[in-house]
Structure 1
Amino acid sequence: MQFKELTQTRVVELQTESYQAVLLPEYGGNLVSLRHLSSGLNVLRTPTQLDQLKEQPERYGIPILFPPNRIEDGMFTFEDRVYSFPLNDPMQRHNHLHGLVLGKSWDVIEQSDTHVLMQHRIVETADFPHDCTLELIYRLCENGLSQQMTVINDSANNLPLGLGYHTAFTMSENSQVWPTLTHEQWELVQPRMLPSGRLIELPTVTLPFSDEQEVSLHCPMGSGRFNDSTLRGVAITHPRLSQAVIYQVDDAFKHWYFWNEGGGQGFFCAEPLTWMANAMNMDSPASITGVQHLSPKATWSATTQISVQPINA
C-alpha cells in the first residue's frame, strides 16, 4: 500500500534516521507499518489495501483491544451493573471478542515528525455504563517505537479495566519467536476457547515458535533474557538480516495470547493482555486473572516498546 497516495483517510507518518512508522487514525488508531530503515525490515504485518483492514482489523499492525480477548456470552456483572457486548466470535461460539474500540476512529490531538497523540472517547450506554477516554501516544526515536496508553475514567463509578494489543509481527524465513513465559498455559475448553481456570504444563517442544508451526496459546506472562538483556515480552529473530525485533511490555500486562492463523501465513500475533480471557467471569482471584478497576476520575497508563537489534553472535 502506498500510504502517501491515500486520499480517503488521514495518514500520520513518523520518521527518524532509523525508523519509519505509519498510522491510520480513522482505522482503529492502528499503527499499521513500522520499518527499520537500515535493514529494510518490515516489523509489522501491513495491509496491502484498506479493505483488508476494514474486514480483518485484528490481523494487521497494532490493533487496540479494550477490553481484550473473549467474554463468555458477551456479558459480565461488576458491582451490580451488567455489561453487555455484541456476540461477534466466529464459528458461533457465543462470545464477545476484541472489545469496543477495534477498528473505531481516533482523533489526532497533537502531532510532530516523531510523535502523535490520539484520543478516543467512549460514551456511556446501557450496555457499557461509563464515559471514559483513551489517550494513545506513539513516540519514534533512534531506539525504536514507544507506545503509551492512558485510560481516564470520566464516570462516577468504578470502571472494570482490561487492555490488550493484537500486535501482528511479520515472520520471515527461519524466523523464531522467543516469548517470556512461566512454562504453563491456560487450559482452553473447546469449542468456545474459554479458559477452564486450570493451568497445565507447556510441552517442552513448543519453543521457539516458528512460522510453520500452528500456534493458539493463552498463558501467564513471565520474564527472561535475550541478547544478554532482561526481557518481558517477545523477541522475533530474522536470521537472514541478522536482526531481532524486541517487543518489551511493562508490568501492567499479566498474560499472553499467541496466534498465527494456523501457521505458514508469514505473521505472528503476540498479544499482551492486562487480564486473561473471560477474566470478569472467572472464579479465580484478581491477582491471577488480572482484573482491576479504575476509580472515578482516575487515570491509568501502560507502556510498550518495539526495537530492532542485531542478533548477538
Structure 2
Amino acid sequence: MNTTQQIEWNGTPCIELCAGGYRAWIAYEIGANVIRFRDEERGMEIFRYREDNNAEHIKQSPEVWGLPTLYLPNRFADGVLKTSDAVYQLPVNEAAPYNNHIHGFLHKRAHTVVEHHADDNCAVLKTQYRYDENDPFFEYLPIRFLAEYTFTLSACGLEHKVRLTNLSDKMMPISVATHTTINTPFVDGGKEEDIRLTVPIGKRCELDERCLPTQRFIDLKLYDLEYKNGTKCPVLQDINNDMYFAEETELEGQSFYGAIVEDTASGKRICYQVSPEYKFWIIWNDRGFNGYFCPEPMTAMIDAPNLELPRETTGYREIRPHDTFEANQRFFTMD
C-alpha cells in the first residue's frame, strides 16, 4: 500500500513517502531536501543519512546531506554574476584563496507543502518556495521567482522535478544542480572498497586553483576513463571537483543518460537518471573518508554566465519574465 504522511524526525518535520518498496523522507523546511531515501526490500540506504543527526546539524551544511537542490550552484568568481540585462554582486562566502560565491541559497529555505497524496501507483509530494523581498538574499539578487518541486515515489523509484518560474521584470539566470550525497556503503553490511561508479563523460573541464574554469577542455586520461568504464572507486581517495561534459552510457542494453553506482560484492546498483537539461557532471567526495560521495549533475558550468564561451557550450541560460524552466531526475535500484 502506497502512503504519504507527516512525520517528525529528531525534531525535523518531514513528509514521508512510501511506495514500490522504497521510503523517502523530505525535510520541506530544509530546502525540501530528501534527507532519507531507502530501498527497504534490497536493504539499501541511498543518500547520506545518520540516525542520530538532527535539523540543526543539517542546517549548518545542508549541501552535504540527502538530496539538496542548489540554485545558483557551485562558484561565481568574486561573487559577480553577469546576466544579459544586469550585473549582480553576490556575497563572497568562500574564503581565500578562493574568494567566490558558492552554492546560492535555495537549499536552505523553508518550503511550503502544497499537497501530498498516494494512490495505487505512487506517492506524491509537491512543495514550493516563493522568492521575493522577504528573502534576505534578495538584496543581492532582486529577481522574484517561484520554485516548485515535485517528488514522485513508485516502483520506478524516486522522481524529482524542479520547476522555476520568473516572476520579475528582469531576465532570470538559470543554473541548477543537486549536490547528491550517495551513502557509503549504501548496501546494508557492504564495504566501501566494493563500490564502483560509472559516469558517462566527455571532455574534462579544466579548473584553476580557485576551482574556476580555465575555459580549456582536456582529453580524458587513464584517471578520467575510470569513470567511463565503471572502474572508479569514488571513496577512499580524494576526489576534488572532477568536472566533465555529460554523455550517454548503456543500462541493460538501453541508452541511459545518467550515472550508475554498483556494490560489486552484491551486484546491487543505484541508477541515477537525469534529464537532458543537466549537461555536466562534477564528482566530489569531501576528501574521500567521510562515508559519502557526490555525483553532482549541473545544468551549466561553474561560473558559466561570466565565461567568454558561448552558452551552447557552458549550458548557461536565462528565462524571460513569466517563463518557466524545468528539469528532472530519477533514482532507482537494481540487482
Tell me if TM exceeds 0.5: yes
Worse-matched range after superposition: 259-268 or 147-156:
259-268
- The amino acid that maps onto 1:106 is H
Deviation at 1:56, TM superposition (A): 1.5
1:204 is aligned to: 222
**CA-to-aligned-CA distance 1:252-282 (integer Å, 9 cap, x gap):** 0111111001113221101111110000110
1:49 is aligned to: 53
**CA-to-aligned-CA distance 1:100-143 (integer Å, 9 cap, x gap):** 21221111111124110000111153421211000000000011
2:280 is aligned to: 255
Give me the whole-angstrom Cα distance separating, in 1, the residues matched to 2:263 and 2:291. 12
Question: Aligned ranges for residues 171-186 of structure 1 at < 5 Å?
Answer: 171-172=184-185, 173=191, 174-182=194-202, 184-186=203-205
Q: In structure 2, which of residues 79, 84, 90 is the aligned counterpart of residue 85 of structure 1?
A: 90
SS at match of 1:262: helix
- Is the 2:8–2:14 contact (alpha carbons within 8 Å) kept by the matching residues of 1? no
Verify: 1:303 aligned to 2:328, yes or no.
yes
Give me the whole-angstrom Cα distance separating, in 1, the residues matched to 2:332 and 2:95. 33
- Is the 1:39–1:241 contact (alpha carbons within 8 Å) kept by the matching residues of 2? no
- The amino acid that maps onto 2:320 is S
- The amino acid that maps onto 1:265 is N
Verify: 1:59 aligned to 2:64, yes or no.
yes
Show structure 1 runs of 4+ deviating over 4 A. none
Verify: 1:116 aligned to 2:139, yes or no.
no
Give me the whole-angstrom Cα distance separating, in 2, the residues matched to 1:232 and 1:171. 23
- Is the 1:158–1:295 contact (alpha carbons within 8 Å) kept by the matching residues of 2? yes
Gaps of 5+ in 2: 1-5, 186-190
Give me the whole-angstrom Cα distance separating, in 2, the residues matched to 1:6 and 1:264. 26
Gaps of 5+ in 1: none
- Is the 2:7–2:16 contact (alpha carbons within 8 Å) kept by the matching residues of 1? no
2:213 is aligned to: 195
- Is the 2:20–2:153 contact (alpha carbons within 8 Å) kept by the matching residues of 1? no
Give me the whole-angstrom Cα distance separating, in 2, the residues matched to 1:301 and 1:15. 25
Give me the whole-angstrom Cα distance separating, in 1, the residues matched to 2:270 and 2:57. 24
- Is the 1:246–1:307 contact (alpha carbons within 8 Å) kept by the matching residues of 2? yes
1:294 is aligned to: 319
Give me the whole-angstrom Cα distance separating, in 1, the residues matched to 2:98 and 2:169. 34
Question: Aligned ranges for residues 98-117 of structure 1 at < 5 Å?
Answer: 98-113=103-118, 114-117=123-126
Question: Aligned ranges for residues 1-313 of structure 1 at < 5 Å?
Answer: 6=9, 8-47=11-50, 48-50=52-54, 51-113=56-118, 114-124=123-133, 125-172=138-185, 173=191, 174-182=194-202, 184-190=203-209, 192-206=210-224, 207=226, 208-210=231-233, 211-216=235-240, 217-310=242-335
2:3 is aligned to: none
Deviation at 1:202, TM superposition (A): 2.6
Residues 39 and 241 of structure 1: CA distance in aligned 2, closer, same or farther (over 3 Å):
farther
- The amino acid that maps onto 2:31 is G
- CA-based RMSD of the aligned residues comes to 1.7
Deviation at 1:213, TM superposition (A): 2.7
- The amino acid that maps onto 1:123 is D
Deviation at 1:77, TM superposition (A): 2.2
Give me the whole-angstrom Cα distance separating, in 1, the residues matched to 2:223 and 2:87. 42
**CA-to-aligned-CA distance 1:217-257 (integer Å, 9 cap, x gap):** 01111111133232211100023332100000011011111
Deviation at 1:86, TM superposition (A): 1.6
Worse-matched range after superposition: 107-116 or 84-93:
84-93
Give me the whole-angstrom Cα distance separating, in 1, the residues matched to 2:8 and 2:105. 30
**How high is the sequence identity, in percent, across the aligned residues?**
26
Give me the whole-angstrom Cα distance separating, in 2, the residues matched to 1:307 and 1:72. 36
Give me the whole-angstrom Cα distance separating, in 1, the residues matched to 2:130 and 2:301. 24
